[in-house]
Each structure stands twice: as C-alpha cells, then as structure tokens.
Amino acid sequence: MIDKNSIIYIAGHNGMAGSAIWRTLTAKGYHNLVGASSKELDLRKQKAVRDFIRKTKPDVIIDAAAKVGGIQANNDFPFDFLMENMQIQNNLINEAHRLAVDKFIFLGSSCIYPKLAPQPLKEEYLLTAPLEPTNESYALAKISGVKLCEAIRRQYQKDFVSLMPTNLYGFNDNFDLKSSHVLPAMIRKFHEAKENNNAVVTLWGTGKPMREFLFVDDMAEAVVFALENELPDHLYNVGTGKDLTIKELASTVRKIVGHTGDILWDDTKPDGTPRKLMDVSKMHNMGWKHQTELEAGIYKTYSWFLENIENFKQKVY
C-alpha cells in the first residue's frame, strides 16, 4: 500500500508537470520524494537508470520526463523526439519492472489519438486511424509507452497505469518562442508586444482549430488520485472536457496581459489537428475532476511569468 512514507521517484521533477506533481505531493504530506536533474541522471542511458533505481529503491515511479516542444520543434526534429522519448520511457518502464517497483504512473499526451478521430476523444480510439503528421514522432513514442504499461499490466499483473493529459499550462512552463506550446507562447508574445508600444502580434495558422487546456496543478491532482487508488484500467484521459478556438484563446490571453495592438494570423503556417477535445468521463467516474477554469489559470500563469521574467532572456517582438 502507498502511504506518506512511500519512496516516490518523480522522473522529470524540474519540468512543468514534474514540479507540479512534486509540489502537490509535498503539500499533501508525502516526504520521501526522489528526483534527479538531467545533469545528474541521463534517462536515455539504461545503465544509469538501472543504477539510480537500485540505489534509491522507489516504491513508485512517476514518469513526467520527456523531450517536448511545439509544432515547429516536432516538425524540425522528428528523429530526436521519437528516439529520445522512447529511450527515456523504455529505460524507466523496463527497470521499474526488473527491479520490482510497486507502482508506475506514465504521463503521455492527447496527441496519441488519431488526427481525425471522433470528438470527444475516447481512450478506445487509440490506433484506429492516422496520427497528426506534425507531431507523429512524439505521439508514436508515447503510444509505445502506453502499450508497454498495458503489456506489463496484462502479463505480470502489475499496477502500471497511463494518464493522458490534454494541453498543459501553468507554473514553470516553457516560454522559449522556438520550442514552446501555444498558450505560453501567446503569453510571452502579447507581453513583449505590449512592452513594445503594443506592437502587432503574429500568430500561426488561421486560429480556427479548437484546443483544450488543463492547469498543470489539476493534472498533478490527477496523478495523486492515481497514486492513492488502484485504477481498474490501464489508460485514462485527463482534461477538462471543454475546448475553445485558438482565436478565442488569443483573445483571452490578450485581455489578461493587457495588449491593445493588432493580431496578424499567418495562415501560411500549419494549424495542426483541427480539434482535440478529451472525453474525461472515465476519470470523472473514478472520482477526479479538474478545479481550475481556464481564465483563472491563465491569470495565475501570467503572474508567475512576470515574477520570473528575468529568466527569459530572448526578446522577440
């Protein structure tokens, strides 16, 4: 049984998702948390991962580690996104199995589902049609992680479970304009444009695709829920069950930031998947539901951005 004394290793604990999980577990009284930075432990190296798990002897591993990026990064570096993510998760899952770790929670992404799957996305839609080409490599890696956890669960009856969050945002997000996702990129672009006499902000695509966003601390609560309960299935969507257009998102971020200039939509850039709304009824039926609505979450995220703005050195107007 998992309790407050259990040793919990959070892979990727310095990232947005991992740090939220660490913060949430600490607040709930879990005090044997283990983490290692990428400089301390290269998760792509099997022996290093094996030695680390042997040394720390975790009861639980939460895999929040991944190479992540937006449309451009996924498009430009498909080999890196496929290979490095498979190396990271394969090492963690395999060594957790080999070294008899009691519980494993694997974090994936809504991009594992087919590009044109029916909406909202149900867990059973996995592998029923082609993926979105612009992030296919990342999606394939995550699908392989889901299938590994499912296989271990079926073959060895181990408590390995996969959680598929929708688009996450919040504290410790990535605001690098070359590799960030749409919401943090918008926060930074609108802020810097506001500081530059409310300059025009150029955004990718048509603004028509619809997206769902989950505040990262709500995702962390879902992880804790999975930690404290033995879920009967191997795969669960984690989201809000609500979405909006990218244009509506831009309008909301612009209002919160206080930018009063114009927006230019560059429709020569790809839109990506037309819609990615999660069916979260399985998690709702188990007892978890998100708490933070989008506008409140963006306010919190922008406040964090302002408090940490000195860390964002690259200025792009």
DSSP H stretches of helix in 34-181: 46-56, 71-76, 78-98, 136-156
For 97-124, the pLDDT digits (tens) are: 999 999 999 999 999 999 889 999 999 9
Residues classed as catalytic: 138
Cα–Cα distance measured from residue 239 to residue 94, given in angstroms and rounded to the nearest whole number: 28
Binding site for substrate, by residue number, is 189, 204, 211, 271
At residue 74, the pLDDT reads 83
Binding site for NADP(+), by residue number, is 12-18, 107-110, 142, 165-168, 181
Question: What is the total residue count of the chain?
Answer: 317
Under CATH, what is the fold of the domain 8-311?
A: Rossmann fold (3.40.50)
- Please give the model's pTM, rounded to 2 decimal places: 0.92
Cα–Cα distance measured from residue 183 to residue 175, given in angstroms and rounded to the nearest whole number: 9
Which residues make beta-bridge pairs with 214? 168
Local confidence band at 316 (pLDDT 50, 70, 90 cut-offs): very low
Cα-to-chain-centroid distance, residue 10: 14
